[in-house]
Amino acid sequence: MKSPRFDIDLDKHYKATVVIACPACGHENRHHLASLQPDSTLVCVCGSDISLTAYGLQSAHDKAAAIKAAYHINAA
């Protein structure tokens, strides 16, 4: 199964939020990165199931770390 497209946002407390695009409708679903587990199913507003594989989740953590490093934010 192909991982859905996602992007990373940081909130004002520098906590990472993953923005996952639904493969069916394109709706952007936002979830705190720390609360996601590999292969756990999220449900989009259109009813489609969305999940990130362990590889996709690790990629999201890596992107969040890279963003924090680029802005010289200490990982917390």
In this predicted model, what pLDDT tens digit does every residue of 43-67 receive, in sequence order? 999 999 998 899 999 999 999 999 9
Tokens of 63: 């992107």
In this predicted model, what pLDDT tens digit does every residue of 3-49 receive, in sequence order? 788 999 999 999 999 999 999 999 999 999 999 999 889 999 999 99
Residue with tokens 């587990």: 37
Cα–Cα distance measured from residue 36 to residue 39, given in angstroms and rounded to the nearest whole number: 9
- 21, 5 contact by CB (below 8 A): yes
Tokens of 22: 């639904």
Residue type, 33: L
